[in-house]
Each structure stands twice: as structure tokens, then as C-alpha cells.
Amino acid sequence: MDIKLNDKENSRKELEATLTYEELSPYFDKAIEKYRKKVSIPGFRKGKAPLNMIRKLYGEGIEYSAIEDIAGEVFFKYITDNKLDVISKGAITDIDYKPKEKLDFKVEFDVMPDVKIDKYKGLKLKKQTNKIDDSLVDDEINYHKFKGATHELDGVASDDDYMITIDLQNLDESGNILIGQSQKDLKVYLGNPEIYPEFKEGMKGIKEGETRIIDSKNAEGEPKKVQISCTKVEKIIYPEMNTEFFKSVTGKDDIKTEEEFRSEIKNELQKIYDGISERQLKSDVVNEMIKENDVPAPERYIEVILDSMVEDYKSRYKGKKIPADFIETEFRNEKRVDAILQAKWFLIRDKIIEMEKIEADEESYIKIAEEFSGRFNIPADKLVEAYKGNEDIKMRILNDKVLDIIINNAELEEILELRTKEDSGKG
């Protein structure tokens, strides 16, 4: 048997094989035996006809029908014996059988590439550290006070701590009503900093039942008039800063003073922004590693990741209809670059796991179980046992360990960022 392995583009391989008729004979004998078991020949019980008779009557046809199976069997034995890390099914690209002489065939397939990591220590990275400004703490507390507020009917909006309900009607320059350009029962919080200045001024001190006309501009910047009719005025009554309010926000019983409450809010904000910075750093690590290490991504590997992305998208609509405008081919095209980057990172990560002999240890499983215990209301020790059999959890642990090794061996430049009210996005 003559077999050779040819390199194709990227990590694609081609198995090229030639088998003599003598080498084919054992395969043909098995095929004839298999065929005998299902054929009926007059004078013999089913499956009991002599092999020579089967060979004489059907031998040539059996041989032709068996050659693809033979090629597949030879291919499978070769990749098994040589421990090739195959990531795609073999595809027969050429097959030529000359009866009583030989069989030539070619099979193309993808293997995991031989990844070489040129650089994963000493990367130059920037890490953002965060300082929480008091204005952000104030904004967060005001947000929770607003959420917990009650509304009390009043006759006039005497300051910004009011919610008014209005009917709005657009007018032309002459003050005539524009048909189809009206809205009813709009609720407006007068303390909202996003309100246009002319509306802010125009609604100042408005009374229930009062109608006003405000001069404004449309999207093109042209003058327009807007008529507002106030149908309800409500005073916003904020909750008292007491232990009941502190617990409703934090879920904790031991916060007794406003100072302790502010400290708790500040600590939570610190965790949030530190978490954002940590995720950004890890994202930067992945991008830098891909840039520093030229790793080819096998096409089949990319397709597997795209398959996973498609399934993940569809799972969001489990029990519901997938949006009518979802076209899988377009989705795959849009996500292809992301899939290529993921493939490259996974190959780099797995190579570092191999090089550093990284394992998912008991401590790592306990840590991640404690992280999710409260969320699922399941004791951490129960989660540990479940997680040990979960491949996704294992890969998450290994992935984090790889990132930690890279970060711990990097040249980190820390950049201090002052986090203020403007960062909250709550307005």
C-alpha cells in the first residue's frame, strides 16, 4: 500500500493512496460476505449461498460499490495510527478503480494547525484603574431615590421635583394644528437634564389645565411651534434616608447611617467599574496575542464557531419564533470576522495550556461555584460537583488562567480614570 500525505493551503491535508488488487482482496471478501447475508438465491436459504457463487454473480458490482467504503476505512486507519488531530470529515476528491489491478484515491481533510507561540510574556498593556468621584455616588443615590419616590397630586409645578402629564400638538408657523402630529399623556420629569432648554423654560411653573405654546425647532433646525396642554401635576415625594431605604437599595440589614450607605454605594460602584476595566484588559490581551502570534485559523474550525454562534442566536428565541428578517447566510457573513478572531485565540490559548501544563483544579471550581451560588440559590459545594462535569466551566477556568499568566507576565501601564456623574448614563 502506497500512502503519502500532502500539505494543502492553511491546515488542510490531502491523503493520497494506492492499493494493489492483492491489498484490496481482503476488503472485497468482507464486502462479499456482507452482501451474501442479505441476498436470496434460488435453491439456498437467505444468506447461505456459496461465496464463490456470490463472487461469480455479483463480484464486479460489489467491488465497485465497496471502493468508497474501502477508501474511508483506509483513511480512518491512517489518521488513527498517526494520531492526527482531524477537525473535519474527510472528503474524497478523486477515486480511480482499475478492476483486478489497483485503486487510487485522494481524501482532503482539515487538521488542527501546529501552533507556535512566539510571544506571550512581556506584552505591553494598559490597565485602567478607577477612582469613584462623589458626584457619581450622589447620582447613584438620587437614581435610587427617584425609583423609590411616590407622587402626590398638586396644582402647580413650582420646581423641578415634579412629574407633569401633557398632551402635545405640533403647530405650523401660523399656529395652526398639524394633523397627525400629536401625542397624548406624555409624562415629563422636569428635573431631567435631557429636556431641551426651550421646553424646560416653557414648562416652568405650569399648572394643571394650563395650555402653552413653545417656540422650538424641528430636526432640520427650522422654527416650529409646539402646543402643550398640562393634564396632571404631581409632586415627587422622595423616600427618607433611613435604614428601610438603605436595605431596599443594598439588600443589607447592617447599614444604619447615611455615611455607611454612601460607603456601600461607593464600594459597589468601584466593583462595577473595576469589573469593566478587568474585562477590557482581558479583551486587550486577546487582541494583542492575536496580533503578536500569526496563527492560521482552519476553515472548518471557523465554520464550527459560526455554527455555535447561529445556535446561540436561535436559543434566545427558544419557544418563540425567530425574527422573520433573520437570514442565516447574512448572519454568518456578519459574524465571520469575529469567528476568525475567536478561532485564532482558542488555538493560542490551547497551546499555552499545553505549554504551561495548566489544569482546572479544585480551588478554581470552588471559586467559580461561590461566585454563582447566590445567583442560583444553590449551595456552593453542590455546584462544585456539577461544574466538574461541565466542559464549558472547565474551559472558562482554563481560559482565565491563561489570561492571568499573560497579564502577570506583562508590562502593565496603569492609567487612573476619575469616574464622575457623567459616566453613569442615568442623566
pLDDT averaged over every residue in the chain:
92
Architecture of domain 245-423: Orthogonal Bundle (1.10)
CA distances from 191 to 89, 156, 195 (A): 64, 15, 8
User: What grid cell was written down for 131?
Assistant: 477612582
- Are the beta carbons of 19 and 74 closer than 8 angstroms? yes
pLDDT digits (tens, 9 = 90+) for 375-390: 888 888 888 988 998 9
The domain made up of 150-237 has a fold known as: Chitinase A; domain 3 (3.10.50)
pLDDT digits (tens, 9 = 90+) for 342-352: 999 999 999 99
pLDDT digits (tens, 9 = 90+) for 173-225: 888 999 999 999 999 999 998 999 999 999 999 999 999 999 998 878 888 89
- Are the beta carbons of 296 and 116 closer than 8 angstroms? no
* CB burial of residue 102 (10 Å; 0-12, 13-18, 19+): middle
Strands 12-20 and 223-237: unpaired
User: What grid cell was written down for 332?
Assistant: 454568518
- Are the beta carbons of 314 and 322 closer than 8 angstroms? yes
Per-residue model confidence (pLDDT) at position 425: 64
Per-residue model confidence (pLDDT) at position 378: 86
All residues at 6 or more sequence positions from 413 whose CB lies less than 8 Å from its CB, including other chains: 124, 125, 126, 127
Per-residue model confidence (pLDDT) at position 152: 96
Per-residue model confidence (pLDDT) at position 205: 96
List of the chain residues with pLDDT < 70: 425-427
CATH classification number, 2-110, choose in 3.30.70.1050, 3.40.190.10, 3.40.50.300, 3.40.1410.10: 3.30.70.1050
User: What grid cell was written down for 360?
Assistant: 482546572
Domain boundaries, the chain: 2-110, 150-237, 245-423
Per-residue model confidence (pLDDT) at position 156: 96
pLDDT digits (tens, 9 = 90+) for 224-248: 899 999 999 999 999 999 999 999 9
| Residue at 140: amino acid letter | E
CA–CA separation, 251 and 262 (whole Å):
14
Per-residue model confidence (pLDDT) at position 136: 96
